Amino acid sequence: MESKVKLAGHPIHPMLIVFPLGLLATAVIFDVIQLINGNTVLAEVAFWNIIAGIVGGLTAAVFGFLDWMSIPAGTRAKQIGLLHGGGNVVIVVLFLVAWLLRLGDPNHLPGGLPIILEILGVGLALGTGWLGGELVDRLGVGVDEGANLNAPSSLSNQPAQASMSNPVVEQHR
């Protein structure tokens, strides 16, 4: 099932998810290091990484939701997509609460609860990331019909389905 929302021939949602995942995971790493060495600059950077990660996550969610809406009802992909998206909303909420709890501190230092929420969020992201992989790799969501190892560039305006058979793919079937 091809993605319905594309940029330069590729689905937008997977392009955007790398930013919030990287920002939020880095925030947790910086906060843990700050707890170990006391460097408040790391807590400040983590604080701003979290809000940027939340904004990026919500932006990616819009495109993920648009793709999810086009998955046929009653399919396993629709159920997995709901778990994937719902779990990612929970992650954003966990990090938002952690961020809000830090607002009162002039150095935006994380207390115990924000760190716990952040670690839970990253742990949950591992699960929702796996579900996203299941959608693409196992269920073919967002994959061009006819995709193959010798498909023309997405910028060529040609379909992925090659007019000639693909001997490499045929050999591996």
Task: Give the residue ranges of DSSP H helices in the chain.
Answer: 12-16, 18-37, 40-69, 76-102, 112-133, 167-172
Q: Is 53 exposed, middle or buried (0-12, 13-18, 19+ CB in 10 A)?
A: buried
Burial class (CB in 10 A: 0-12, 13-18, 19+), 43: buried
Q: How confident is the model at residue 100 (pLDDT cuts 50, 70, 90)?
A: very high
130-165 residue pLDDT tens: 999 999 999 988 888 888 888 888 888 888 785 455
Residue at 51: amino acid letter: I
Please report the pLDDT score of residue 168 as a whole number. 52
Tokens standing for 96?
A: 């938002």
Q: For 28-86, what is each residue's pLDDT tens digit?
A: 999 999 999 999 999 999 999 999 999 999 999 999 999 999 999 999 999 999 999 99
Residue 25, Cβ neighbours under 10 Å: how many? 17
State residue 38's pLDDT score: 92
Domain residue spans of the chain: 6-144
CA distance 27 to 23: 6
Range in 4-13, 51-60, 107-116 the model is least confident about: 4-13
Chain centroid to CA 57: 7
